[in-house]
Amino acid sequence: MATTSFRALTPFSDARETSEIVNNILQGKLNATGTVTLTNSATTTTVSDYRVGGDSVILFMPTTSDAASENIWVSARSKNSFTITHASAATTRSYAYAVIG
């Protein structure tokens, strides 16, 4: 999993830091994305991500041509992980994903 890390607020953040973070959020720079490559020769791939909870919505964007034609779905969500169900294949099927909630 790859994530982009932007500055986070702390109890000691000053007004400048707070405004920088809020402005970044308004520009779409959120710590809510990652990447995953589906496990070859398997029908499920489990992704560990501390931002995921049981009610999270996971959104996918294929980043390889083989992923674009794959039929995938999130078959389980729990604290810190989710499971993707997919067909078994020997191709590279990679996605970028966003976690909401």
Residue 37 neighbours by CB under 8 Å, 6+ apart: 45, 92, 93, 94, 95
CB 45 within 8 A of CB 82: no
What local confidence, expressed as pLDDT, does residue 4 receive?
59
Return the SS3 of 21.
helix
Q: Is the pLDDT of residue 26 over 60?
A: yes
Range of the domain at 2: 1-30
Residues 64 and 81 in one domain: yes
- What's the chain's average pLDDT? 92
- Asked whether residue 17 falls in the same domain as residue 61, the answer is no
Is the pLDDT reported for residue 57 higher than 70? yes
Contact at 8 Å (CB) between 58 and 97? yes
What percentage of the chain reaches a pLDDT higher than 70? 95
- pLDDT > 70? residue 2: no
Q: Which whole number is the average pLDDT over 21-49? A: 93
Same domain, 26 and 45: no
Structure tokens at 36: 């995953």
Q: Are 84 and 63 members of one domain?
A: yes
Enumerate residues 6+ apart whose C-beta is below 8 A from 59. Answer: 97, 98, 100
Percent of the chain with pLDDT over 90: 80
